[in-house]
Amino acid sequence: MTVDAIIEIVAETAPEIRDGLVNRRGTTDEQNPSDEIQLEADVWADERLEDRLTALDGVGAYASEERKGIVEAGDGYSVTLDPLDGSSNLKSNNSMGTILGIYDGQLPAAGRDLVASAYVLYGPITTMMVARDDTVTEYVIEDDGSRRPVTTDLTLPADPVVYGFGGGVTDWTDEFSTFASEIQRELKLRYGGAFIGDINQVLTYGGIFAYPELETAPEGKLRLQFEGIPVGHIVATAGGRASTGTGSLLEVDPTELHQRTPVYVGNTDLIERRERV
């Protein structure tokens, strides 16, 4: 069925994206719709995935963090991609990811329209986390693009261990600083600068990731449609909670494709504590 085929295409493309990074570390002269300078790798990964996904029967629309508009492809699911999440890590050779959302509805779409979400992590090994049918499965992706499940029914560990908070400390709001100083006394810092790398730490060890609202950017940095909702869905399906800091991230109705949002994801009690501050 189409949902399987979409996930399959992203998995099959992952080794090719990984292999192609080495010669695409430079920047382009272009900016993405969020006014960030695009890397050659961002544009290339987006084009690869757009070509393959829009050719699939049952894909109705394709949208990505790297292009302004929606590519209409016929009738069927709306597919969103952050083709290379955390691509500024390419310069320093650190982890990056690809984030996928599959929505049964027109874009921009809310969390309730998601039928599946997934991410690929380009770490020392290539893995894929898939949330669908109320369960999360972690796969290893082999060099030929095939997938092998390594963890089924993945759930967040009950006792949280790690935290990662984005944004400059001097740009944090007083409210967030108060919350952060409590957490910093309880958990161990793990922040690598790529959402997917940092989220995988939280799903593995338990804890909290936040890219909060900032004094200079009240909407934070991460994109609701391409990053917040799909990753929030994976964390919620694994038994955690995804929030804007004041309410569920999965209940937000996006008004613009590229809108940003504060993101808080991780163990439910930690996220609820933030919502109560």
Which residue type is seen at 52? R
The secondary structure of residue 236, as a DSSP letter, is H
> Nearest residue by C-beta to ligand FDP?
88
Pairing of β 263-266 and β 241-243: antiparallel
Q: Rounded CA gap, 183 and 188, in Å?
A: 9
> How far apart are CB 192 and ligand FDP at their closest, in Å?
8
Nearest-CA neighbor of 270 among 211, 205, 186, 199? 186
By CB under 6 A, is residue 24 in contact with ligand FDP?
A: no
Say if residues 17 and 10 touch (Cβ distance below 8 Å): no
Among the listed residues 147, 221, 233, 260, the single contact to ligand FDP using CB under 6 A: 221
Among the listed residues 44, 103, 195, 264, the single contact to ligand FDP using CB under 6 A: 195
Q: Which region, judged by CB under 6 A, interacts with ligand FDP, from 11-19, 24-32, 84-92, 178-186?
A: 84-92
Binding residues for ligand FDP restricted to 86-115, rule: CB under 6 A: 86-89
> How far apart are CB 58 and ligand FDP at their closest, in Å?
28
Please give the structure tokens belonging to residue 153: 């029914």
> How far apart are CB 63 and ligand FDP at their closest, in Å?
15
Nearest-CA neighbor of 100 among 73, 114, 118, 116? 118
Question: Residue numbers of the site for ligand FDP (CB under 6 A)?
Answer: 85-89, 166-167, 193-195, 211, 221-222, 227
